[in-house]
Amino acid sequence: MAQLYGYVRVSTREQNEERQLVAMRDFGIPDNNIMLDKQSGKDFNRPAYKRLLKKLKPGDTLVIKSIDRLGRDYDEILEQWRIITRERQAAIVVLDIPLLDTRQKERDLTGTFIADLVLQILSYVAQQEREFIHQRQAEGIAAARTRGVRFGRPIKEPPEWFDEVRDAWERNEISAREAARRLFVDRMTFMAWVGE
């Protein structure tokens, strides 16, 4: 008997998947057939997605909320679409885009062409958005650096007794490791404080 599966993905553990889960349940997908990944869409190395692919049989249907839930890499989305629809012979339903519903067996050549064209355009747009995000992020970091914004942890200030410990180290009375221990920091921090 053909099964109905749902695939839900959020990019980080902090993001909420509830909107997608509600859409899957409204479509009639049982909870035990909804696969969830909390992972980036940059590749398809996701545990729940891999389990889903193993379960898909001919005649099954996979439902996703939007094409970018499947992924953001143009070539990879097209390849996964081919694997699901051709190799696994399962149908795909993209809830946000009714044109991307391969269950319609009576679809004529023009309908198939339009669905394939829409898929390619949307896959391209998903990848472009991912590239734009990276570009905007890099530009934002560069602009912040020109304004003097520092990234990373703030440099810890040396304690009051630093000068006497440094002087002992410079006279070779103690090692750098011992100096760091006396200052309650690691050796790398001590070496940064003395400028080496």
Give me the torsion for CA of 90, 95, 98, 99, rounded to 10°: -50
Catalytic residue selected from 11, 40, 123, 175? 11
**Nearby residues of 92 by Cβ (< 8 Å), 6 or more positions away:** 61, 62, 63, 64, 81, 84, 85, 100, 101, 102
3-state secondary structure of 126: helix
108-117 contacts at long range (C-beta below 8 A, 24 or more positions apart): none
Asked about 11 being catalytic, the answer comes back as yes
Amino acid identity, residue 50? K
Angle between the 74-82 and 109-146 helix axes, to the nearest 10 degrees? 150
**Residues classed as catalytic:** 11
